[in-house]
Amino acid sequence: MDGATPPLNSLGFAKPPAETRVVVAMSGGVDSSVVAAMLAEEGYDVIGVTLQLYDHGAALAKKGACCAGIDIHDARRVAEDMGFPHYVLDYENIFQDAVIEEFAESYLSGATPVPCIRCNERVKFKDLLGTARDLGADCMATGHYIQRLPGDHGAALHMAADPTRDQSYFLFSTTQEQLDYLRFPLGHLKTKDETRALAHKYGLSVADKPDSQDICFVPDGNYAGVIEKLRPGAAEPGEIVHADGRVLGTHEGVIHYTIGQRRGLGIGGLSEPLYVVRLDVDAKQVIVGPKDMLATRVIPVREINWLGDEAFDSLSEWHLSVKVRSTRPPREAILRPLSATEAEVELMTPEEGVSPGQACVFYDPDGTRVFGGGWIWRGA
């Protein structure tokens, strides 16, 4: 019928794929490569973009890193094979200022940072998303395992269909405006094997490439070593002190320890297992104690990004589930707003190892929707 609105394409636009431009954020890994190949095969006007986030010359041999030189090469090869343009953008200075510097400062203050969240928030979904708009793209797609589903008030964020791959913890700070522009084509897949099967179907050279496990600028997992490079002299020695005041030993720097740590304390020969329960940066002390001292019930949270349909501070209490570590399941909790961006979170069951610098992410207790989250900012 003349004048009828064309059906929505798979990215949600009422026009043919060939008239829909999509920028794909390509890390060089399997997931984002499959997204780019899938959309190219469907006929979309695909532009691949890879971010150079740090000196890839120094990282060429570090295969586990997500944004090293080898990964830029892999992303470019996928684009060549699938026949769409690919650009590498130098975001080194932005990444240094927005992510790496804060990572170092957080560790030096006794916190346990999650730089991947800051990278999504301040680099990928801010500067890169702005670049996508500048390129005239209708949307930007990524290989994240999370779902964007229609809601009553615009797009809603939901956990991935595969709970073992779900990345919602790392994407809680995605704003509503960003969510309206983003697309996550892999979020509905049930297993990682499906993604690799698609990679083989498209003949991608990265089909069997292993997943990156570490933070991209710490490919060997040695956080303290990176911080010592960034802040020479940061690892000042001090005392390991029992919560009852006894000095049990010495350490080579607070940056080598995290809340909840048990191994590698160097204080053997004691009758009870001890854990790091607090880091006193000013006194250069690592405070240890029995496991029950790690139990936390009340958590102060700030910098809240709220994705609910009503204003966060419109209610005195929200009964939701929360995650305080990416590897732990959501726990039942009560959120009590203190302002539009701050809250007190009361866990119905105490959680161990809650650390400043980690995220506290909010979930629908009866479903898969993600209601945002905030940052844990001091020990309760």
Nearest to 307 by CA among 357, 375, 369: 369
Provide the residue type at 187 as one letter.
Answer: G
Determine the Cα–Cα distance for residues 294 and 76; give it in Å rounded to an integer.
47
DSSP code, position 220: T
Question: Which residues, in sequence order, are bridge partners of residue 22?
Answer: 46, 139
Structural tokens at position 136: 């005239």
**Active-site annotation holder among 66, 67, 139, 216:** 216
Q: Is 216 annotated in the active site?
A: yes
Half-sphere exposure of 177 (CA within 13 A, CB side): 6
Catalytic choice (66, 67, 116, 119): 119
Tell me how far apart the alpha carbons of residues 263 and 372 are, in angstroms, rounded to a whole number: 33
Residue 313 dihedral angles phi and psi, to the nearest 5° = -90, 20
Q: What angle do CA 172, 173, 178 make, to 5 degrees?
A: 110
CA distance 176 to 136: 20
Whether residue 193 contacts residue 186, with contact meaning beta carbons closer than 8 Å, is answered with no
What does the block give as tokens for 128? 């890169």
In three-state secondary structure terms, 355 is coil
Q: For 196, which DSSP code?
A: H
Beta-carbon contacts of residue 230 (< 8 Å; ≥ 6 apart): 100, 101, 104
Round to whole Å and give the CA distance between 221 and 230. Answer: 15
Query: What dihedral do alpha carbons 38, 40, 44, 46 form, nearest 10°?
Result: 110
Catalytic positions, please? 119, 216
